[in-house]
Amino acid sequence: MTGPDTFTEELLIAGGMMATTVFFHATIIAASAALVRTAGQALWGPVRFLRDALILSAASLILLAAHSAEVAAWALVMMKIGAFAGLEEAFYFASVSFTTLGFGDVLLPEGWRLLAGAIAADGFILFGMSAAFLFEAVRKARIGDAR
């Protein structure tokens, strides 16, 4: 298939992917929050510093892996609809769109262009969720300094 039969088909694909990736990302953040909560015991000095650094590093890497999986999901959708023949080109387009970088050197075929904006909006929302979570994790780690 080279393009959607209707505008509605394109909107359904975009909405379905956005709903799926937001739910997936929320699940990853909830699991990461559980990891952060398990480190709630009172520690001081270098032990606390090391623990906090390891937890924040682990949470960041988990979130980066989630973003990579979400980009890969968009790339697979691009291949499934026939927008790109190869995984490398599809992944490149999805990652450039997801990060809202948008080089414009690789474009979607006519009829699927709305998906580029959906990928960008999805990435914007998911990066925002990640940033908010990390900000809150750092804030909670600093609260112990007041004790």
89-117 mean pLDDT? 94
- The maximal CA–CA distance of the chain, rounded, in angstroms, is 63
Angle between helical axes of 87-98 and 45-80 (0-180°, round to 10) = 120
| Residue 147 banded pLDDT, cuts 50, 70, 90 | very low
SS3 140: helix
Task: List the alpha helices (DSSP H) in the chain.
Answer: 7-38, 45-80, 87-98, 114-143
Residue pair 60/131 in contact by the 8 Å Cβ criterion: no
Question: Hey, what domains does the chain have and what are their CATH numbers?
Answer: 7-146 (1.10.287)
* pLDDT at residue 93 is higher than 90: yes
54, 107, 110, 146 from 65: Cα distances, Å: 16, 25, 31, 33
**Which tokens belong to 38?**
């398990």
* pLDDT at residue 67 is higher than 50: yes
* pLDDT at residue 54 is higher than 70: yes
Q: CA 101, 2, 84, 67 torsion: positive or negative?
A: positive
Give the predicted TM-score (pTM) of the model.
0.88
